[in-house]
Amino acid sequence: MHVDTPARPHTSTTHRRRARPIALLWIAALLLAACGTARGQATVPPGAAPATGDTASPAVSGAGVKVTIGSKLDVDGQLNAQMYALLLQARGFDVTTKLGLGQTPVLDQAIKSGAIDIYPEFTGTALTLLGLPSTQDPQKAYNDVKARYAEQFQLTWLDPAYELNDSYAICTSPAVAQQRNLTTIEDLKPIAGELTIAAQQDGIEAAVDPVERAYDLRFGNVVQIAEQLSFDAVTRGDADLNVCYTTDPAILVDNFVVLQDTKNVFPIYNPAPVVRAHLLQEAPQIADILNELQPHLSTEVVIELIKQVSVDHKSVEEVARAFLEQEGLLTR
């Protein structure tokens, strides 16, 4: 029954809404992604970076050490990787970035094979990669992946950004929230049977199932649809709720309401830099440099940064640099 699509007449021809910039941007992103890995590759010559100056003392200089930083396709991952790159460049490292390299398995292979040295990964995703069950406990998730990665792959997890949780949530449009008086997932219980929820394929197992179990409710209908398009589906009335990512800028742009998860059922996804242990032996100061960044990141901060990239069309580098300067991690 989870694959049924709603046989609902499309009655909303009377009201046309503006084309949402996110949908268009998403198309552009897919097209770019299809063009391969050429995008986002940039090499900074060794001598160029230190000139910009910064708080780096000679003791932590990374001059001459070559570092390749990769990221997945998502803007969140690209921003994180770009910040790592800027911080290391400022300390004199010879940084090459390969942003938007591919999906999780690509990055996983790339770092294990040594094609890249560092990339941001989520604790929750790493648990899945390791075949371990997901958890709601950030500390446990981090400890488990850190131990396994060190032992099995000679990869080191640096400090995670505990305040940045790129997880799943149940969202709805402001109109539906108001009409149905929804603020928490608990509020869904009496009406869930009448509601259609749009979820990406992975959101069924990661969000719909746990919510139905923990809150003892059953959604009337589940439609499988790409996460980025699910906001449109709710706005149009094809669905009442959607499973969203907590850092999706549509939450900001379209004022989508994230229903509070009072029972804490969603798995934790904190990002952290995953670094090849060999590189850390060569340049142990990388740990301190990147760990310094993590307390500055939070879900609220990053969703705004993602919006600047995917809605306001600023470049990843521009946004990452401005943020680091604003936080005093990089001098102008």
Interface ranges with another protein (CB under 8 A): 2-3, 5-6, 10, 12, 16-17, 19-20, 23-24, 26-27, 30-31, 34, 103-105, 125, 128-129, 198, 200-202, 204-205, 223-226, 229, 232-233, 236, 238-239
Question: Closest approach of Cβ 256 to another protein, in Å?
Answer: 17
For residue 217, CA distances in Å to 1, 185, 267 come to 15, 10, 19
Question: Closest approach of Cβ 259 to another protein, in Å?
Answer: 21
Instruction: Return d(Cα 266, Cα 284) in angstroms, integer.
Output: 34
Which residues make Cβ contacts (< 8 Å) with residue 199, sequence separation at least 6?
207, 208, 222, 223, 224, 225, 230, 242, 243
Q: Which is nearer to another protein, 164 or 225 (CB)?
A: 225
Q: Supply 65's token pair.
A: 């050490």
Question: Closest approach of Cβ 203 to another protein, in Å?
Answer: 8
Question: Closest approach of Cβ 131 to another protein, in Å?
Answer: 9
Q: Which is nearer to another protein, 130 or 287 (CB)?
A: 130
Question: Closest approach of Cβ 226 to another protein, in Å?
Answer: 4
Report DSSP letters for 130-186, one per residue. TTPPP-S-HHHHHHHHHHHHHHHH-EEE----TT----EEEEE-HHHHHHHT-SBGG
CA count, 13 A, side-chain hemisphere, 90 = 22
Q: How many CB atoms lie within 10 A of CB 227?
A: 20
Q: Which is nearer to another protein, 30 or 277 (CB)?
A: 30
Question: Closest approach of Cβ 47 to another protein, in Å?
Answer: 41
Contact of 242 with 200, CB cutoff 8 Å: no
Question: Closest approach of Cβ 70 to another protein, in Å?
Answer: 17
Q: Which is nearer to another protein, 106 or 301 (CB)?
A: 106
Q: Which is nearer to another protein, 92 or 102 (CB)?
A: 102
Question: Closest approach of Cβ 21 to another protein, in Å?
Answer: 12
Q: Which is nearer to another protein, 27 or 48 (CB)?
A: 27
Q: What does the CA dihedral 314, 319, 320, 322 come to, rounded to 10 degrees?
A: 150
Q: How many CB atoms lie within 10 A of CB 288?
A: 12
Q: Which is nearer to another protein, 103 or 154 (CB)?
A: 103
Q: Supply 237's token pair.
A: 């009335």
Question: Closest approach of Cβ 27 to another protein, in Å?
Answer: 5
SS3 assignment, position 302: helix
Q: Which is nearer to another protein, 266 or 323 (CB)?
A: 266
Instruction: Return d(Cα 131, Cα 99) in angstroms, integer.
Output: 26
Which residues make Cβ contacts (< 8 Å) with residue 100, sequence separation at least 6?
32, 33, 37, 39, 40, 71, 72, 73, 78
Write the burial class of residue 191 (CB in 10 Å: 0-12 exposed, 13-18 middle, 19+ buried).
Answer: middle
